[in-house]
Amino acid sequence: MAEIENKNPGKDITPEDLETKFPLAAKKHPEHVSKFTIAGIEFGGKGLPIMAGPNMVESRDLIFDVAENIKHCGSHFLRGGAFKPLTFPYRSPKYNETREDGIRWLGEAKERFGIPVITEVMEERYLPLVCEVADIIQIGSRNMQNYPFLTACARTGKPIMLKRHYGASLRDWLGAAEYILVEGNERVMLCERGVSAPHTHRATSRYLLDLQVVPAAKEITHLPVIVDPSHATFWAPWVRPMALAAIAAGADGLMIEVHPNPSQAAVDSLQPIDYRSFHSLASAASKLKSFLIAGEFG
Ligand code: PEP
Ligand code: MN
């Protein structure tokens, strides 16, 4: 650990933590960076993996339309929740989770359009079903510290994206990642998606994108860090600037909510961007990443 100069590597992270609390998530030396491939896409390398799609897998037609269009626009993975951590238990028909059907439609869209899938699972009993389709398991913010569930997900051997709980410190986030790594599952990535904060700049914005956590995490861990500006800002016009800022901050990938008709989205209709905006963002994002890489290595 000697190479890490900071005596308190994180606000609440001590040098001992790197050796005793999360030795597998911690960097062994400053250049230690995890690189791995999922469905042919490299994470932690020079490229910029992008995951895009609707908040919810609303219907078969919607997910087919999105899969085809986002792939064309430069997305590497199709995202979409069939199992959703919805804040309130009441459902209008439009707001219904599509559950097993949604997972099946994701699988069909993956086959038809040749795009790999990332989707959230919230209960251990659905892991076998979700693993038939998902190339990456998404563990949502709300399950970040559900330790038996982290272990069960890790044991599937599937790559995992661990979203940060909106109240979690970097130390707690890395502790959760360690629960996955300790099972021998090495394809783990972190995802910053906004934290609770008193000042969020719009009445509808529930979270503040913590971009500072990107360099902070990368000082301490070798795991790739993905940024989701959609859930953080809850406001489509802010997605592009914050996505580009995330890349400048060192993010290894993006998760972006995209919907063909954002105002009609069944869930959180203020946050998705449309195909045109996504096309332009995906192209700007990869250009910015290449520009920064050229600066570092050129
Ligand atoms: C999502 O990505 O659909 C989601 C629910 O995200 P989070 O867990 O970050 O709220
Ligand atoms: Mn969502």
Residue length, the chain? 298
- Please name the residue that has the structure tokens 């929740």: 81
Q: Are 211 and 250 in contact (CB under 8 A)?
A: no
DSSP code at position 53: E
Per-residue pLDDT, averaged over 168-190, amounts to 98
297 has pLDDT over 90: no
252 vs 190: CA distance, rounded Å: 10
Tokens of 246: 């995330």
Q: How confident is the model at residue 56 (pLDDT cuts 50, 70, 90)?
A: very high
What residue's CA is closest to ligand 1, atom 3? 55
**pLDDT value at 226 more than 80:** yes
pLDDT tens-digit map of 117-135: 999 999 999 999 999 999 9
- Round to whole Å and give the CA distance between 216 and 267: 32
Q: 137 near 130, Cβ under 8 Å?
A: yes
Range 223-239 average pLDDT: 97
Instruction: Choose which residue among 231, 269, 271 to substitute to test ligand 1 binding: the one with the highest number of ligand atoms within 8 A of its C-beta.
Output: 231
List, chain by chain if needed, residues with CB within 6 Å of any ligand 1 atom.
Answer: 55, 81, 85, 120, 140-141, 163, 193, 231
pLDDT tens, 243-277? Answer: 999 999 999 999 999 999 999 999 999 999 999 99
Q: Where are the alpha helices (DSSP H) in 51-169?
A: 60-73, 99-113, 127-133, 147-155
**At what angle are helices 275-297 and 60-73 packed, to 10 degrees?**
40
- 84 C-alpha vs ligand 1 centroid, how far in Å? 8
Q: What is the pLDDT of residues 4-49, one digit of tens each?
A: 556 677 678 988 999 999 999 999 999 999 999 999 999 999 999 9
**1: pLDDT strictly greater than 60:** no
How far out from the chain centre does Cα 47 lie?
A: 16
Distance CA 60, CA 79 (A): 14
Q: Is 298 a residue whose pLDDT tops 60?
A: no
Ligand 1 centroid – CA 85 distance (Å): 7
Q: How far is the CA of 52 from the centre of ligand 2 (A)?
A: 12
Nearest to 166 by CA among 245, 240, 87, 97: 87
d(CA 113, CA 206) in angstroms, rounded, equals 34
Report which ligand 1 atom has the smallest distance to the Cα of 191.
9
Say what the pLDDT of residue 5 is: 58
CA 70/CA 173 separation, integer angstroms:
30
Q: Is the pLDDT of residue 2 over 50?
A: no
Question: How far, CA to CA in Å, does 229 sit from each of 15, 94, 297?
Answer: 31, 25, 27
The model's confidence at residue 66, banded by pLDDT at 50, 70 and 90, is: very high
Atom of ligand 1 nearest to the CA of 55: 3
Given the structure tokens 């890489």, which residue do they identify? 293
State the distance from the centre of ligand 2 to the C-alpha of 216, rounded, in angstroms: 25
Distance, CA of 201 to CA of 93 (rounded, Å):
32
